[in-house]
């Protein structure tokens, strides 16, 4: 949530900032603003609403300057209006700040300033006052020193950027529990909350670590700790290009990313086995793991922690790990994990799922596990992200940039990542012969082609969306591996169309949810062929008898029976393994949600009140 970009050292800094903010729109925001520094004064322009409001305001007061910082805000403290939009100034206009995160002790800091007038309701503004006060106390103004002293007082999560009139070519930034990237290329210094804002300019970037502060200028980037000692950030090279972050002819990013899933899953599965010796089967190999196989072989309990869509991927992972590796697994909402005193020890493996690797609840859960000396493996998409760096091992999903707020390709690749990890744990624990894991891995390679077949249902799904896009309530039901997909389908429909949707275990219908069924209720049933199919047919008959309209998602082996009971049946190819079925069965639900939302005229890529990366609790 929120977006930051800063530029120093190029005369068209304003245009560069606006372009960077445009690339950060997907993160979710409700206002935008920027400040420029020409050495005489700080000029702030900010507007509530979309970025075009800021652009129009700037058209009437064009700026030419080489240094500035910009921000897209997702409101936490204070209403989403012009007054609370970033940047914020101190009363004298000497210092400007933009900030992602929450300053938890801002009220106490404000009280310590005495009788000072504040121009906003935000937690952020106090930091501009504090830095200005530090500069006032110095004989020779030093913005880096002032920021270091202020940051030492802050409590909470923040990526925070300052400029000051005293030093018109410098940006000073600090980071704690919220992502911040710095870079330098061709005599220009940059900072941003997401590498997408910088991909126009450079692929060689550095992610600041918690507690680090950087001074950015046209001469370069210097990184320090809070005590002023030189420090080393995490440096890496971005492995995707600008085309990957463009729509490339699709009407929306979400539709593009739905159609990118065959390639994304292919890339997740790529190079996951060692070359065998003559006469031996290949062994599954996850080269980003940094945990000794003997340690993993001693694991007797697994927690999967995640939020939102990633939580549903973790539910599929639970089934795979318990089935293949024989280890009990609990799937936990990350925001609840550390507050309930979970029983975690060195023989407990914690698996943390996050597309961005910056989800603060998931990072906090993983950190709590490490404090208990439990090994942590993260499954993430963004290389170099906080969760990837801080875990003992990481499985990168290699899905490429996901711009739409509603996750699609990140979800399916996370499922594949959990399947790979389940197989790997089975391998190191001796639960499966090498020939068995090799056979399943070979079968998983068929998933991309099967996804392509599922995408061919698009026109049929569009017609169903046309029929049902005004239905007020939709119920999703499923069993076994179908239940997480039912939950994901309900979430997708809610988050981009704003319609009421719920998911239930199909076997629980008679224990309460069936009371919600009335004539005309749409029930979407996940009913692939498999060991629970007969039970699903019984549950479909229960809701059909109460007047519901049934849309069933079946497979080649279940379609004939489903047509006797459902109003509509979408037929998917048989998955290469039952536990891979969710990767296919979610495709129609993604497309259905997309078409319903577009028919209702909603903003599919940037749904209201939601952010792509949630970096505050």
pLDDT digits (tens, 9 = 90+) for 361-374: 999 999 999 999 99
pLDDT at 355 (0 to 100)? 92
pLDDT at 87 over 80: yes
If you average pLDDT over every residue of the chain, what do you get?
90
Which of helix, strand or coil describes residue 257? helix
Q: If you average pLDDT over residues 511-517, what whole number do you get?
A: 87
How far, CA to CA in Å, does 173 sit from each of 4, 69, 162, 168, 498? 11, 11, 6, 15, 37
What's the CATH architecture for 454-599? 3-Layer(aba) Sandwich (3.40)
How confident is residue 509, by pLDDT bands cut at 50, 70 and 90?
A: confident
- The tokens describing 60, both together, are 């009437």
Q: If you average pLDDT over residues 183-199, what whole number do you get?
A: 91
261-269 and 409-428 helices, crossing angle to 10°: 20
pLDDT at 240 (0 to 100)? 64
Pairing type for strands 181-185 and 204-207 reads antiparallel
Q: Lowest-pLDDT range, 76-90, 98-112, 278-292?
A: 278-292
Nearest CA-CA partner of 396 in 388, 405, 404: 388
Q: Lowest-pLDDT range, 164-168, 239-243, 504-508?
A: 239-243
pLDDT at 533 (0 to 100)? 87
Contact 347, 298 (CB under 8 A): yes
Q: If you average pLDDT over residues 589-598, what whole number do you get?
A: 97
pLDDT at 17 (0 to 100)? 92
CB neighbour list of residue 351: distance below 8 Å, 6 or more residues apart: 302, 303, 304, 305, 314, 317, 376, 377, 378, 379, 418, 421
The 3-class SS string of 567-579 reads CEEEEECCCCCHH
Q: What is the pLDDT of residues 92-142, one digit of tens each?
A: 999 999 998 889 999 999 999 988 889 999 999 999 999 999 999 998 899
Q: What is the pLDDT of residues 210-263, one digit of tens each?
A: 999 999 999 999 999 999 999 999 888 887 665 666 777 889 999 999 999 999
Q: How far apart are CA 509 and CA 502, in angstroms?
A: 12
Nearest CA-CA partner of 80 in 25, 24, 30: 30
Question: What count of other Cβ atoms lies within 10 Å of the Cβ of residue 578?
Answer: 17
Whether residue 535 lies in the annotated active site: no
Residue of 2, 161, 191, 307 marked active site = 2
Domain residue extents for the chain: 3-238, 253-445, 454-599
CB neighbour list of residue 139: distance below 8 Å, 6 or more residues apart: none
Pairing type for strands 393-396 and 376-380 reads parallel
Which helix (H) or strand (E) is 332 found in, with range? strand 329-333
Q: Lowest-pLDDT range, 399-403, 415-419, 463-467?
A: 399-403
Model-level pTM greater than 0.85? no
What DSSP assignment string belongs to 89-141? E-TTS-EEEEEEEEETTHHHHHHHT-S---SSS-SSHHHHHHHHHHHHT-SS-
Cα 616 → chain centroid:
13
Q: How many CA atoms lie within 13 A of 387 on its CB side?
A: 33
DSSP structural state of residue 42: E
pLDDT at 276 (0 to 100)? 65
Residue of 46, 175, 409, 612 marked active site = 612
CB neighbour list of residue 65: distance below 8 Å, 6 or more residues apart: 11, 13, 14, 36, 37, 38, 43
Fold of the domain spanning 3-238: 3.60.20
pLDDT at 456 (0 to 100)? 96
- The tokens describing 205, both together, are 């970037």
Q: How far apart are CA 327 and CA 461, in angstroms?
A: 39
Question: What count of other Cβ atoms lies within 10 Å of the Cβ of residue 346?
Answer: 12
pLDDT at 58 (0 to 100)? 86
CB neighbour list of residue 571: distance below 8 Å, 6 or more residues apart: 457, 554, 555, 556, 559
Q: How far apart are CA 76 and CA 84, in angstroms?
A: 10
pLDDT at 245 (0 to 100)? 63
Place of tokens 């499966």: 432
Q: What is the pLDDT of residues 451-473, one digit of tens each?
A: 999 999 999 999 999 999 999 89
CB neighbour list of residue 459: distance below 8 Å, 6 or more residues apart: none
pLDDT at 273 over 80: no
Contact 349, 450 (CB under 8 A): no
Q: How far apart are CA 398 and CA 410, in angstroms?
A: 9
Strand partners, 101: 158
Q: If you average pLDDT over residues 326-346, what whole number do you get?
A: 93
Nearest CA-CA partner of 443 in 467, 416, 418: 416
Kindly state the greatest CA–CA separation across the chain: 85
Torsions phi, psi of 160, nearest 5? -140, 135
Q: Strands, E, within 414-573: which ranges?
A: 473-478, 500-505, 522-526, 549-555, 568-572
DSSP structural state of residue 325: I
Which of helix, strand or coil describes residue 37? strand
pLDDT at 616 (0 to 100)? 55
CATH assignment of 253-445? 3.40.50.10490
Residue 327 region, left (φ>0) first, then alpha (ψ -120 to 50), else beta? beta
pLDDT at 611 (0 to 100)? 64
Q: How far apart are CA 603 and CA 200, in angstroms?
A: 26
Which of helix, strand or coil describes residue 523? strand
pLDDT at 568 (0 to 100)? 95
Whether residue 2 lies in the annotated active site: yes
Q: If you average pLDDT over residues 397-403, what whole number do you get?
A: 89
R_g of the chain computed on alpha carbons: 26
Q: How far apart are CA 63 and CA 19, in angstroms?
A: 15
Strand partners, 522: 474, 549
Query: How many percent of the chain have pLDDT more than 70?
Result: 96
Contact 337, 350 (CB under 8 A): no
Q: If you average pLDDT over residues 474-503, what whole number do you get?
A: 96
Fold match, 3-238 / 253-445: no
């Amino acid at each position: 949530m929120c977006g930051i970009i800063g530029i120093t050292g190029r005369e068209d800094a304003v245009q560069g900032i606006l372009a960077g903010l445009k690339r950060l729109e997907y993160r979710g925001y409700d206002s935008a603003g920027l400040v420029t520094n020409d050495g005489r004064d700080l000029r702030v322009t900010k507007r509530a609403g979309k970025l075009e409001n800021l652009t129009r305001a700037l058209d009437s007061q064009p700026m030419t300057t080489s240094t500035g910082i910009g921000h897209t805000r997702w409101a936490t403290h204070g209403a989403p209006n012009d007054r609370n939009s970033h940047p914020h100034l101190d009363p004298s206009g000497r210092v400007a700040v933009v900030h992602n995160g929450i300053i938890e002790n801002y009220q106490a800091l404000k009280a310590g300033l005495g009788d000072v007038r504040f121009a906003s309701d935000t937690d952020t503004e106090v930091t501009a006052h504090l830095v200005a006060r530090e500069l006032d106390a110095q004989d020779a103004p030093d913005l880096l020193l002032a920021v270091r002293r202020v940051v030492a007082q802050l409590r909470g999560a923040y990526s925070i950027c300052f400029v000051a009139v005293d030093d018109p070519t410098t940006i000073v930034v600090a980071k704690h529990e919220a992502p911040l990237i710095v870079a330098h290329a061709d005599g220009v210094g940059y900072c941003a909350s997401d590498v997408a804002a910088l991909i126009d300019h450079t692929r060689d970037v550095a992610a600041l670590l918690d507690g680090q502060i950087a001074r950015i200028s046209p001469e370069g980037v210097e990184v320090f700790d809070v005590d002023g000692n030189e420090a080393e950030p995490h440096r890496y090279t971005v492995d995707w290009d600008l085309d990957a972050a463009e729509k490339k002819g699709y009407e929306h990013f979400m539709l593009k990313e739905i159609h990118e899933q065959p390639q994304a899953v292919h890339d997740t599965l790529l190079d996951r086995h060692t070359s065998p010796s003559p006469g031996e089967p290949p062994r599954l190999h996850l080269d980003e793991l940094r945990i000794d196989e003997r340690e993993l072989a001693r694991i007797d309990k697994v927690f999967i922690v995640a939020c939102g869509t990633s939580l549903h991927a973790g539910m599929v992972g639970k089934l795979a790990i318990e089935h293949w590796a024989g280890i009990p697994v609990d799937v936990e909402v990350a925001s609840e994990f550390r507050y309930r005193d979970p029983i975690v020890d060195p023989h407990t493996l914690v698996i943390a799922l996050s597309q961005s690797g910056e989800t603060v609840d998931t990072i906090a859960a993983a950190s709590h596990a490490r404090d208990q000396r439990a090994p942590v493996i993260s499954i993430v998409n963004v290389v170099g992200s906080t969760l990837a760096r801080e875990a003992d091992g990481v499985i990168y999903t290699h899905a490429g940039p996901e711009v739409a707020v509603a996750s699609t390709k990140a979800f399916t690749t996370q499922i594949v990542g959990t399947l790979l990890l389940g197989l790997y744990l089975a391998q190191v624990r001796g639960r499966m012969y090498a020939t068995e894991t090799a056979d399943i891995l070979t079968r998983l390679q068929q998933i991309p082609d099967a996804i392509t077949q599922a995408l061919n249902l698009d026109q049929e799904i569009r017609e169903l969306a046309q029929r049902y896009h005004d239905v007020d309530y939709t119920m999703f039901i499923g069993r076994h591996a179908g239940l997480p997909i039912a939950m994901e389908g309900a979430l997708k429909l809610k988050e981009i169309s704003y319609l009421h949707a719920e998911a239930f275990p199909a076997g629980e219908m008679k224990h309460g949810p069936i009371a919600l069924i009335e004539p005309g209720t749409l029930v979407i049933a996940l009913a692939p062929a498999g060991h629970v199919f007969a039970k699903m047919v019984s549950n479909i008959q229960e809701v059909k008898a109460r007047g519901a309209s049934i849309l069933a998602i079946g497979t080649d082996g279940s379609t004939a029976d489903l047509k006797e009971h459902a109003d509509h049946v979408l037929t998917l190819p048989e998955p290469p393994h039952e536990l891979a079925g969710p990767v296919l069965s979610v495709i129609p639900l993604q497309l259905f949600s997309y078409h319903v939302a577009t028919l209702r005229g909603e903003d599919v890529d940037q749904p209201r009140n939601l952010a792509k990366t949630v970096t505050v609790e």
